[in-house]
Amino acid sequence: MNKNYIYIQKAQKEEYDKLRKIFLTSRQEHFNWMEYDSIKLEDFDSSTEGELIFTAKIINEIAGFVSIWEQDKFIHNLFVSSNFKRCGVGKALINKAVKIVGLPLTLKCVMANKSALNFYLSQGWTIEEEVTEREPYYLMKYEGINIDLIRQENYKPTFWSGGMATELTTYPLNSDYASRNFLWRLGVAKIDIPESTFSSLPEVSRKFMVIEGQITLHHENKYEKLLNPFEQDHFMGDWNTKTYGKATVFNLMTRENYNGDLLHLNISPGKQLKFEYKTPLNKDLAAICFYTVNGGFNCTINNKVFETVKDDLIVINYADSGLTHEFMLCNNTSEITNIIVSIIYRN
């Protein structure tokens, strides 16, 4: 099982000893504004009294927990074991809190806790108020959406036998293609040789769309398919696949309980397009991403204007998938703008 497959459930009494230890050691390691000797094992019980507690597990090991004061949708405690940092546990626990008590969520973050503050800000939390009491803190709010505009200079270029590839983004944070520890990944590859063979990627589902050029995909003992610009194919990563022809292609790779779709949008110069996505009832929306193939567009999301140029990527991560999502995309250039939309969801 992938280390990043996180299972969350309501805390059981028999788990409390491990939760107490996580609560103790995490504060001893990171709460340097507190007197070390004042941090006690039994603090967990008084700090979580009357609250909903959920544990996160990875490979049957407790990786962290969240406690919530349900009436106020207030996260009182969120702690991750040092053994499972940067595995997406904190984000998963926040998403669970959203599903249980709804939005918006609030919490207090001690000003001295810089690492926690940076984490919450990176997940889309906003600072609502600065409170300067004996232990100054930020009152923070979360409305269930996190938006990133990723520019070309922030991508990860790599080289392979057939040409150059660019990793646009991966999930969870700090996962990557080389480590095979991603749950979903977006990338662009340039195939510069007339014939190439894809690497075997067991348990990876691939959505593959041509951006420029023309290629034929040959899946051994399966089928063969010719792809022109903005045509696509869906296949499994462990198939024996060869390509014939030179092209630039867009890749969506998903693993485990994640899947996705690719769509192509085309906007004439100076025009706008209303893009609407309705989440199927049997799917849990994780993210919508807009990749600008050429041209550029602007879009207002959560009262903030995002403006893209060629090769930019907007990533919108959702905690609460909802049913309908609408975007007004305005072509701000004098050329046709082509956009590839990636819809990623949890099964």
Judge whether 167 and 176 are in contact, CB under 8 Å: yes
Q: Residue 1: its pLDDT value, please?
A: 37
Based on the fold, state whether residues 31 and 127 are members of the same structural domain: yes
Determine phi and psi for 329, rounding to 5 degrees. -100, 125
What average pLDDT does range 89-103 have in this prediction? 92
Question: Domain of 301: which CATH number?
Answer: 2.60.120.10
What average pLDDT does range 52-63 have in this prediction? 96
Is residue 157's pLDDT more than 80? yes
Based on the fold, state whether residues 185 and 312 are members of the same structural domain: yes
Q: Are strands 126-131 and 145-150 parallel, antiparallel or unpaired?
A: unpaired
Average pLDDT, the chain: 93
Q: Are strands 74-80 and 52-58 parallel, antiparallel or unpaired?
A: unpaired
CB atoms within 10 A of CB 24: 17
What is the pTM assigned to this prediction? Answer: 0.74
pLDDT band for 162, please (50, 70, 90 cuts). Answer: confident
221-236 confidence digits (pLDDT tens): 999 999 999 999 999 9
Q: Residue 281: its pLDDT value, please?
A: 80
Task: Write out the residue range of the structural domain in which residue 90 sits.
Answer: 7-143
Angle ∠(181,184,187) on CA atoms, nearest 5: 100
Q: Residue 167: its pLDDT value, please?
A: 94
Based on the fold, state whether residues 113 and 62 are members of the same structural domain: yes
Round to whole Å and give the CA distance between 294 and 261: 20
What average pLDDT does range 226-250 have in this prediction? 97
Question: Of 205, 178, 232, 215, which is closest to residue 341 (Cα–Cα)?
Answer: 232
Q: Residue 129: its pLDDT value, please?
A: 94
Which residues, other chains included, contact 126 with Cβ-Cβ below 8 Å and sequence gap of 6+? 140, 141, 142, 143
Based on the fold, state whether residues 138 and 217 are members of the same structural domain: no
Based on the fold, state whether residues 332 and 223 are members of the same structural domain: yes
Q: Classify residue 2: in a domain, yes or no.
A: no
Please give the DSSP secondary-structure letter assigned to residue 11. P
Final residue before a domain boundary, out of 118, 143, 168: 143
Based on the fold, state whether residues 170 and 295 are members of the same structural domain: yes
Q: Residue 282: its pLDDT value, please?
A: 81
